[in-house]
Each structure stands twice: as C-alpha cells, then as structure tokens.
Chain A
Amino acid sequence: MIPARFDYHRAADAAHALALLGELGDEAKLLAGGHSLVPLMKLGLAQPAALVDVGDVRELSYVDERDGVLAVGALTRYRDIERSELARRLVPILAHATGRIGDPQVRARGTIGGSLAHGDPAADLPAVAVATGAVMVVRGPGGERHVPAREFFRGFLETALQPDEMLVEVRFPASGVEPWAYEKFSRRAQDYAIVGVAVVRGPEPGIALVNMDSTPVFCAAASAALGRGEEARAVAELAAADGRPPSDLNGDGAYRRHLARVLTERAVRAAAI
C-alpha cells in the first residue's frame, strides 16, 4: 500500500510529456487518471522510477466529430465521454460502456487513453474499441502512427505502445455503429467484468470479449457469423470458443466460457436489427 520511491514530473502539454518520456527513458510512466497505475504502485506491482503527470494536458481532452470519425482525445475523462451528446449519438456503445466502469469516483478521474494504454483484458473500453474497429493515434519522437485496436493489444498489460510513445487520440467510426449491445457480468455492481461482451452490427459486425484472455478477444468467426445473420445461439457458441479464459476466485475457465456464451447470446439478441 506504500509505493516505492519515484520522481515526479508535471507535463505542460503533449510535446512536453513526450520530451520528458524521451529524456527519462524506459523507467518513466505517464500518469493520467492514475486509477490503474497508482493501485499497481501501491501494491508494489509497478515501480516506475519516474512519473510524468499529464493531468494538466487539457489539449488532449475532447470528443469531436471529424472526417467521418468520432475522435476522442486520450486524456478525456470517462465522465466527459459518458455525458457527451456526440458520443451518445454517434457511438452509443462507447458512452454506455464508459458509464459501466467502476464507480463515480473512478469515472471522474479515469481517462480513455489510460484504460486503453493500460491494456487490462478485464477493462471495458478495450473490448469496445476492438468490437467497433477503433483506431489508436499514437505519437512518438518520429511523429504519429495509426494502430487499429485489433492490433493494439499484445499481451497482459502490454500494448503496441513504445516507452517513448503516447496515445493521443482514439477514433471510432462515426456512423452506423448500431445496433449494439454491451453485456457486463460482475458480482458487485462496481467491479471489473468477470466476463463482458461488446457487440456491434455496423458499420462492420464486431464482437469482442472482456476478460476471456490476456488481451481483449476479437471474435472473428462469431463476428462473421453475425454478419451472415446467423442465430444468436450459433454466434454465441462461436464467440465462447475463442480466448483462453483465466481462472480466479470469481470464476474458472469453464464458467467463464459458459458466461461468454450466455452474455453473447443476450447481446446479439439485444442488438437485433
């Protein structure tokens, strides 16, 4: 509960943050909402030598419609996404799933970029990004690159981000992201999902699972079956066969697969055309 010693830097803007990351090297971490990083540090599971606090970088906090995409700044807080008229209208699954994260305190602090960069397979937004076919805008010393969400998550708490890079924006398709459904199963209302599933029928059919592997799981076969208009049960069977579900106190692998099946079936039914 007491973090190891670390240095603290406060970035004035995105460029400053990147410069600090470049200077400080591998041992530095960005601090956004702090709601994943700080608990890890308190438990001794992360021991960064330096933190670069990007809490003041307001230029990366926005929800915009631009060139056919819903562009969300990486430092946009959950609460601002949840309440954004634009997000609710254009990518309702994003606004809805954001509203299911943790509790009001968590949503007041946590950022979309922090959640995606953290890469926790149990988190809600990674699966939403994968299901909707979002694209990550990553900025580094050499400029910007775009990484599709489906290629972004590499392993447990591991993403395509390099230590000197920063996630600056997430782009969601701005039209046709419907019908949709997000099913989250947890024991307590404010917990991470034991299993969750994000389903969108358009603009491309996409199904992604929460907490069924070391990364969010894109269910390619199930998504294709959804596109073919197959029955909810059949789609669910395919989805539940994906991933290598973990076992923990809340559920073993077999139970998680079962939940994936039940939740996907429910979500596909709920996302009826």
Chain B
Amino acid sequence: MSLIGAKVLRKEDPNLVTGRGSFVDDLRPDRCLTMAFVPSTEAHARVRSVDASEAAALPGVAAVWTAADVAHLPPCPGLPGLERPLLASDVVRFVGEPVAVVVAEDRYLAADAVAAVVVDYEPLPAVVGVQAALAADAPALFPALGGNLVFEQPWESDLADVFAAAPRTASLHIVNNRCAPTPIEPNACLADWGPSGLTLWAAFQAPHHLRNKLAEFFGIAHDETRVIAPDVGGGFGAKINLVPELYLAPALSRALGRPVKYVQTRSECLQAMYHGRAQEQDVDVAFDDDGRLLGLRFMVTQDNGGYPDPGGMGLPALTTAMATGCYKVPRVAVGWRNVVTNTTPVASYRGAGRPEATFMIERVVDLVADETGLDPLEVRRRNFIQPDEFPYATSSPLAVYDSGNYPGALDELLRILDYDAVRQEQRRNLDDDTKPLIGVGFSTWVEIAGFGPPGSLEAFGHLGSWESAQIRVQPDGSAIVYTGASPHGQGTETTFAQIAADNLGIPFERISVRHGDTATVLQGIGTMGSRCTAIAGEGVRAAATTVLGRAKEIAAHLLEADPADLQAEDGAFTVRGTPARSVSWNDVAWASFRPLDLPEGMTPGSLETSVFQQVANFSFPSGAYACVVEVDRHTGRVGVRGFYLVDDCGTVINPLLAEGQVQGGIAQGIAQALFEEVSYDPQGALLTSTLMDYLVPAAPDLPGFVSSRICTPTPNSVLGAKGIGESGSIGSPPAVVNAVVDALAHLGVRHVDMPVTPQKVWRLLEGAR
C-alpha cells in the first residue's frame, strides 16, 4: 500500500511533546555569554553619542560594543548605499534598531547593562506610513536618495483605451495591514568561534544560505563555517532575514573567545523581527455588464520600513505576478513603488506578496458583483481560467500557471457549504433587530509556490533554486534521508520518510530524516516559498528511485533473478509471481557493503546517492474558500461562524499535515483579517509591543473548519505535489472581509480595511444610520 496520502503521525512529535526538543535556547555550552541589544527609543534621530562606560564597568559584563567597534565589518547585505548597519552609527531609523550590543554572564546582567548605556539622541521628524513618506516635504530617511522612494516601476501603459471603452469601471484603495510574524520561538542564535572555525546555531530557515553569507562576510572558508538550525519553533518567512545578530554573535564570540547566545524576548521579537504585508494598493477595474473583466490597472505601494531588505523589495513583484488570480483578464497595467519609513523593516511573511495580490483581486471581483448586481460566484465563474487552458500564461512573465481546476474547486466548495441556507438566514435576520447580520464571503484563489525555477531564488541572493536530497542506506537496511530543506514545524521528517519509504520499499519506521546542519547535509537552499515538498520532496523521490534500482541489482544477484522481475515491498525484494523467492532489504543492504556478495562491477557503498533537484516552473496551488460571519449589529463584533475550504495542492503526501498547514495558515489569515495589526503612533513609537496589544487569536477565537480537497497534480514533477505551506494565509483574508462586506452591503458598505475591528464596524453601522 502506498504511503503517499497516508495519515501517518508525525515522527517529530514524541520529542516535542515530551519536552525533548532542542531549540537554540536549550543549548547551554560551557562559559556561554548572553548578548542583548540596546534598542533605539527613537524612530528617527541622529545619534549624538553613546556612553557605554558605566555599562562596561558593571559586574559580569564582558563587552559593550557600539558602531565604532564594528566599523571594520561590512553592513548587513542590502541595497547598495541603503544597507542596514550592524549597529546604528549616526542615524537611527526605527524604534528598536540596535544602537549598541552588550555581552554579559547571564541575561539579567545583560539587561542591567543595557539599561546603563546612555544614548544621546537628536530627534528628527519621523515618517510613518507610505503616504507620509511620499509627501512632498517628507523628511528623508536616506538623504542621498532624495526622498523616500527607493524604487518605482511605472505602468507600461495606463490602459486609457480599455477604461474609456469599458461599459463599467470601479476603483478601490486597499490598505493591507502590517503584521508581525510572531513564531512561538523568536529570533535566536548561538555562536561559538574557536580555533577550528565558526559554529552558529540559529533559529533559521536556510542554514546553508546563512553559512554562505557568514563565510563571505567574515572572509572565511565554507568548510570552517558550520551553521546548525536545531529544532526551530516556526518562522513564517521571517527567519530567512539576514539580521545583525547573526553577524554580531559570531563577531563577539571571536573577539571574546567564548560562546555567545542571543535570544529575543517577545517584545523584542514584535519590535525587531521583520514585519510583513504593509502594502497599499490603488486598483481600477474595467468590466462589462455581464461581469466580465476587461482590464485591471493598479499601483502597489510597499512600505519597506527603515531599511529596504532585499526580500522585502521583491514583495510587490510577487503581488503583481499574482494580481489577476484565477481569472482571465485581457489587459493589465502593473506598477509598484518601494518606500522607506521609520518603522521596522518589512520582508516576507507567510505568503509574502501573494496574500496582498489575492486580497486585491478577490475584493475586486466582489466589487464587480456588487456593481453589476450579479452573484459573486457567478462573476467568478464567468471569468475563471478553464481546466483545459493550462499551462496558462498570465500577463506576468513570472506566472505561467502549471495546472488547476478552479471551477472544480468551487463546485466542491458548494457541496460542503449550504449556500442557499446561509442566504436564507441572511435575509431572515436582516429585519430582526435581535439577530446578528449574516454575511458570506468567498475567495477563489491561486498562488505561486514551489520556489522555484532556476534564477528565481538567485535573485534574492541564494546560491540556487534547487534543493538537495541524499539517501544513505545503512548496513542494517534502515535509511537516512538528508535534505537541504530546513523544516521548522512543517513535519518534513514525516513526509520525506513517507516519500522515501514509498519509493524504496523500506518500512517508514526504519527511515530517519536529517536536516539543518551544514556539516552533515551536503548543500541546501532552505524551507520557504512553499518549496519544501514540491522540490526537496521530489528530490527525495528521485534519489530513492536511483537507490532502489541499485538495490534491485544486488537483490537480483543474490536471488539469481532478473532485476526487472523484482518488486520491493514491506522491507523485502520478491520475484514477481514467485513469493518464495525473496531476500530482505536488510540482507541486500548488508551485502551492498560486502564486495564478495556483489554482482560483478559493483563497488561497495552503492546504496547512497544525492540529487540536486530542479524544477522547470513554479507550481500554482489553488482553492476555493468560504467564510460565514455574523456581525453583532449593536457592538460591531464580527464572529466567524464557519470556514469552508477546498484546497488543491496537487498530490498530498500526508493529509494530516496538509490539513495542519491549511488550518494554521487560515488561522493567520483570520488573524490578519480580524485581529492583528502592528500599530505605530505618528512619531513612530510602536504601540503593539506585547501580546496584550498585538492580538494573536487563540483557539477559542477561531471557527471550526469544514475542509475538503480536489487534486490537480503539477506536471513539474513525478510526485505532483504543489506546496501548501502558505495557501491558508493567502486564500483566507479576502473570504473573511468579503463576508463582512456582504453582511453590511445593505447599508451601502463596499469595502473595509483589515483588521476589521468591532470599533470599525460600529462606525460603519453608525454611519449608515
């Protein structure tokens, strides 16, 4: 029986649920020091002086460094001239930017020392939000830039002809709220630089990438630079950012000759871990009376925060690539701007640019429905790309959709959701003041995953876009799979063991998956962009196939049979049709190391191989979501009554894990839609620096999920898996907001920005009175 598609329990969990996981903060090497930052209290200021003398003299303090102490080191990788320094030297550009770094015997002494560092700031006017940053008289973060606009991609054409000729047009201004990724484990690293080189343990999603960057930064060799990502408690894309602590901890360890550990507090994490989203969109749509889309024109304005992170710079490109969603839009004008502001830098966060695209297009199709009086599902159906139109080239060169079945997903959604019943209740409640207003919202979405084809990650400073897989069968017939992916909660040890077991014929229990150590995993790119199963998983499959072929030769030799007649299953090789003629995987593995047992010409140790898996195209997971909300018409509170979802991520390796990814992603999507927003005051002070203010929802705040799936495999691989890690957070926010707008539509409400707080809704209800 195939293990692909089996609901196997996670191999990872026994360790994690018994407290035997090993996260960076669990590592306590001898003589380890603690590092802590002195964060800027100003959003924008000139640093007149930093007086560290008192702090340095405190007991237990090993070092206090300011910008002057790191002047010999390069800045963090960034845009030429706009790089983020390791420590702010003359100017600070966001609250929380480190001005100095302290190293002490423990974190309490470090905190005392941080408090003793005296920084003299000369405040400068701060810019918060892209509108303020682009104002004519806005203070500039980087004077050399002559303003705060870092990059502008104008429209190639303004589609004036399309819009002039279109029977109807509509416009929308959308603010996609700034979110804090908030993994359970904040940023953390531990550096130990000894005579034989540097070892850095880091809560990171791409250890080999970090190894390459560290070696380059310090001018040391790859073989003497070891990066280990131990157990990592979530990342959501924020743990691929090359932030100062990753360079400072090694530099301090080298200087002090002792291990140096850094672990963010939760408040530091909310403040300094790069944020996500923070995008504004101005969008115009042209359509006809039948709801058919004729043209889409939009300008994306990306808030990049205090320093333009290279990943953050790329977000609008992903937004524009996916902006037409699963619809046929004949003419498209895309433009974007990257803007710096006195806020925490913005980079990738689960979905990275695609949730913003999906939100925009799914709001737009609802707007078209509203304008034409058509049912929102009808508008979607009329514009869907059809199943026989794949591969489908969109207007974006990045997005040639591989495969999909958008009408099929919607049909399935309507099978699990009683749409008519919801509409009936909605009508019944409308005039009954004691009942909540009901709304139902849809999102039929497509996203871009499986990053990616050659060149796609290189553009962001990675060595390649492939992923490595290595399989080594052990002498006893068990097997170890090494992957260059670096899971941090996804369950890859389980899914890859399933893939390997399925393709090797070795029992699942006898396969271990290792990852996250540059000294043992040959090379790697990392886990991000929903690429792990789609690319690394395919690599495991390919490697397993090669190893199996060799094992069959050995087995055939032992059985005196033809390799082509053998089948491998349940740990044994059997001659087809002659079950008595069988040899165990264990014996084959053992023989593979014993030259006397091998067929002629075969050398010992053949049952291992490595693959650098590449893919020719991205994959494009899709789905259809519906959200049913009830709005308390007196308090404005939005309650999510039910969430209905159909995903299509191609082949599913493990439905339990796929469902976990989707539910987690939707939780984050609902969080963005209803609860979460990073807020600053106009002077750039962070107002959401604790989890009392930054409202991450918990289980009681989330609805039950009714889920189903359809399967349209990707043609990019044999496995056919598309990637599912980001789908939920991409597809869900517009379903929630569309539902709220639907509930309020009779009051003339056409749009509401996220998060949809009770107060916002109350204002809309009041406004309509």
Interface residues of A (CB under 8 A from B): 1-2, 4-5, 43, 103, 185, 187-192, 194, 249-252, 255, 258-259, 262-263
Q: A187-B757, A190-B700, A255-B759 are in contact. Are A249 and B635 (CB under 8 A)?
A: no
For the complex formed, measure the closest distance between the CB of A23 and the CB atoms of chain B, giving whole angstroms: 25
CA distance A258 to B759 in the complex (A): 10
A189 B700 Cβ-Cβ under 8 A:
yes
**Listed residue (A103, A188, A190, A251) with the most chain B CB atoms within 10 angstroms of its CB:** A188
Residue numbers in B under 8 Å from A192 (CB-CB): 692
The answer to whether A2 touches B634, judged by C-beta atoms less than 8 angstroms apart, is no
Q: CA of A258 to CA of B266 in the docked complex: distance in angstroms?
A: 34
Which of B104-112, B398-406, B578-586 makes up part of the contact surface? B104-112
B264, closest chain A residue (CB): A1
Interface string of B621-661 (1 = CB under 8 A from A): 00000000000001101000000000000000000000000
Instruction: List residues of chain B with CB within 8 A of the CB of A262.
Output: 634-635
Most buried by B among A187, A192, A252: A187
> Which residues does chain A contribute within 8 Å of B697, judged by CB atoms?
188
Taking a contact as CB atoms under 8 Å apart, the answer to whether B695 and A1 are in contact is: no
- In order of increasing CB-CB distance, the 9 nearest A-B pairs are A1-B265, A2-B111, A189-B700, A262-B634, A255-B759, A251-B759, A188-B701, A189-B701, A1-B267
CA A190 – CA B107 in complex, angstroms?
30
Residues of A contacting B690 in the complex (Cβ-Cβ under 8 angstroms): 43
Considering residues A194, A251, A255, which has the most beta carbons from chain B within 10 angstroms of its beta carbon?
A: A255
Distance in angstroms between the alpha carbons of A251 and B763 in the assembled complex: 11
Q: Mark B46-83, 1 if CB is under 8 A from A, else 0.
A: 00000000000000000000000000000000000000
Taken together as a complex, chains A and B put the C-alpha atoms of A252 and B266 apart, in Å, by 27
Inter-chain contact B267/A187, CB cutoff 8 Å: no
Number of interface residues of B (CB under 8 A): 29
| Interchain nearest-CB distance for B283 vs A (Å) | 28
Which residue of B111, B112, B115 has the most chain A CB atoms within 10 A of its CB atom? B111
Which residue of B has the minimal Cβ distance to A255? Answer: B759
Q: Is B706 an interface residue (CB 8 A)?
A: no
Q: State in angstroms the CA–CA spacing of A250 and B112 once bound together.
A: 33
* Given contact pairs A1-B266, A2-B265, A249 touches B679 in the complex (Cβ within 8 A): yes
Contact partner, B762, options A4, A43, A191, A255, Cβ 8 Å: A255
Determine the chain A residues whose CB is within 8 A of the CB of B108 once the complex forms. Answer: 2, 5
For the complex, give the distance between the alpha carbons of A259 and B701 in Å.
Answer: 20
A187 touches B758 (CB 8 A): yes
Tell me, yes or no, whether B512 is within 8 Å of chain A by CB.
Answer: no
For the complex, give the distance between the alpha carbons of A225 and B110 in Å: 58
In the assembled complex, B707 has its CB within 8 A of some CB on chain A: no
CA distance A252 to B760 in the complex (A): 11
Contacts A1-B267, A187-B757, A251-B759 given; does A259 touch B635 at CB 8 Å: yes
B674-716 vs A, Cβ < 8 Å mask (1 yes, 0 no): 0100010000000110101101011011000000000000000
CB-defined contacts of A252 to chain B, threshold 8 Å: 759
**A–B pairs, 10, beta carbons within 8 Å:** A2-B107, A2-B108, A5-B112, A43-B267, A188-B698, A191-B692, A191-B695, A194-B758, A249-B679, A251-B759
Report how far A1 CA is from B268 CA in the complex, Å. Answer: 9
Q: What 0/1 pattern do residues 454 to 468 of B give for CB contact below 8 A with A?
A: 000000000000000
Q: Assuming A185-B635, A255-B759, is B675 touching A249 (CB within 8 A)? A: no
Check if A190 sits within 8 Å of B757, measured CB to CB: no
Instruction: Tell me the nearest residue of chain A to B700, going by C-beta.
Output: A189
Checking B107, B111, B112, B695 against A188 with a beta-carbon cut-off of 8 angstroms, the contacting residue is B695
Determine which residue in B266, B635, B637, B679 has the highest number of CB atoms from chain A within 10 A of its CB, and name it.
B635
- When each residue 154-191 of chain B gets 1 if its CB lies under 8 Å from chain A and 0 otherwise, what string results? 00000000000000000000000000000000000000
Cβ–Cβ < 8 Å partners of B268 in chain A: 1
| Docked complex Cα distance between A258 and B635 (Å) | 8
B759 engages A188 (CB within 8 Å):
no
A185 and B688 contact, CB distance less than 8 A? no
User: A263 to B634, alpha carbons, bound, how many Å?
Assistant: 9
Please measure, in the bound complex, the distance between the C-alpha atom of A26 and the C-alpha atom of B111, giving whole angstroms. 25
A258-B701 contact, Cβ under 8 Å, with A1-B265, A5-B112, A188-B675: no
Q: B701 contacts which chain A residues (CB < 8 A)?
A: 188-189
Contact B762 A249, beta carbon cutoff 8 Å: no
Q: How far is the CA of A263 from the CA of B637 in the complex (A)?
A: 13
Residues of A contacting B266 in the complex (Cβ-Cβ under 8 angstroms): 1
Distance in Å from the Cβ of A107 to the closest Cβ of chain B? 14
Q: How far is the CA of A194 from the CA of B759 in the complex (A)?
A: 11
What is the distance, in angstroms, from B752's C-beta to the closest C-beta of chain A? 16
B700 touches A258 (CB 8 A): no
What chain A residues lie within 8 Å of B692 (beta carbons)?
191-192
Question: Measured between alpha carbons, how far is A250 from B687 in the docked complex, in Å?
Answer: 12
Q: Please, how many angstroms separate the alpha-carbon atoms of A258 and B763 in the complex?
A: 11
Q: How far is the CA of A173 from the CA of B268 in the complex (A)?
A: 47
Assembled-state Cα–Cα distance A103/B743 (Å): 31
**Given A43-B690, A249-B688: A258 and B762 interface contact (C-beta under 8 Å):** yes
